[in-house]
Amino acid sequence: MAQQGPTAAQVWSDPAFATAWLGGDPDGARDLLALPRTIAAQLVAEEKPEPELVVDIASGAGKFLSVLLTAFPKARGVWTDVSETMLGQAREDLADFGDRVTFQVGDMQALRAAGLPEGVDVVLSSRASHHLDRAQLHAFYQEAAGLLAPDGWLVNLDHIGPEDVWDRRYRSVRKKHWAPRKPAPKHHHNYPLTSVEDHLDGYRAAGLTEVDVAWKAFYTCLFAGRRPQG
């Protein structure tokens, strides 16, 4: 595991921390990320109306995977994450999908060793890669892209570090109008977070095309790109 990885991965492996984070994660109407998750499924559906295999990396309780499996009833899903606490929660939250989901504990910084399948139609991740620095992020994208089938999608919904002037504006507006009822427990981040450009560069360096920011609000972006055919 790379140098900054253990701090991030270890905190999520602490059951008290993971449980506190899950308890504060907004649900229902207060979940601002419901929209980009749905947009991700709709964009995939435009090009791939019946994806067979979806892998969600650092899946947590499986919120993103759940949206894709609901949108694509014939798809199978692979949940993967480093945290046993998240595994327990995901088994409960994804139970309705039955044997369509398989669970694989593994490290997002060592995807090859995690024993994930290849030929994947959609590789997802959300709210996890911001723990990585630029070099680690690019290595992650390289490995994630390697799991894709030709024409497969890599979709990442994650937080970025904006320029200072935008950081101030976002922080102020969020505090005034969008403060969560229960803030997430504090955990380690490598500031400054990687930028939009770091992500787009990483996608392209991994050989992905049609790369774009499909949705953005404040610090959070929906990145999407495809592995070219052949």
Q: Give yes or no for residue 40 binding ligand SAM (CB under 6 A).
A: no
As a whole number of angstroms, the distance between CA 183 and CA 32 comes to 14
Burial class (CB in 10 A: 0-12, 13-18, 19+), 129: buried
Q: Which is nearer to ligand SAM, 126 or 194 (CB)?
A: 126
Peptide bond into 15 cis (omega under 30): no
Of these, 41, 67, 82, 120, which contacts ligand SAM (CB under 6 A)? 82
As a whole number of angstroms, the distance between CA 222 and CA 216 comes to 6
Q: Which is nearer to ligand SAM, 23 or 150 (CB)?
A: 23
Three-state secondary structure call for residue 16:
helix
Of these, 53, 59, 77, 87, which contacts ligand SAM (CB under 6 A)? 59
Q: Among candidates 111, 64, 106, which has minimal Cα distance to 83?
A: 106
As a whole number of angstroms, the distance between CA 22 and CA 49 comes to 32
- Nearest residue relative to ligand SAM (C-beta): 60
Of these, 93, 107, 143, 198, which contacts ligand SAM (CB under 6 A)? 107
Number of residues assigned to the chain: 230
Q: Which is nearer to ligand SAM, 32 or 47 (CB)?
A: 32
Residue 144 half-sphere exposure toward CB, CA atoms < 13 A: 32
Least Cβ distance, residue 227 to ligand SAM (angstroms)? 21
Which x/- pattern, by CB under 6 A, does the window 118-147 give for ligand SAM?
--------xxx--x----------------
Least Cβ distance, residue 13 to ligand SAM (angstroms)? 7
Q: Give yes or no for residue 63 binding ligand SAM (CB under 6 A).
A: yes
Q: Give yes or no for residue 5 binding ligand SAM (CB under 6 A).
A: yes
Of these, 60, 162, 202, 225, which contacts ligand SAM (CB under 6 A)? 60
Q: Which one-letter DSSP state was computed for residue 225?
A: E
CB 157 within 8 A of CB 33: yes
Three-state secondary structure call for residue 210:
strand
Stretch that binds ligand SAM, among 47-55, 75-83, 169-177, 203-211 (CB under 6 A): 75-83
* Contact residues for ligand SAM, defined by CB under 6 A: 5, 8-9, 12, 58-60, 63-64, 81-83, 86, 107-109, 126-128, 131
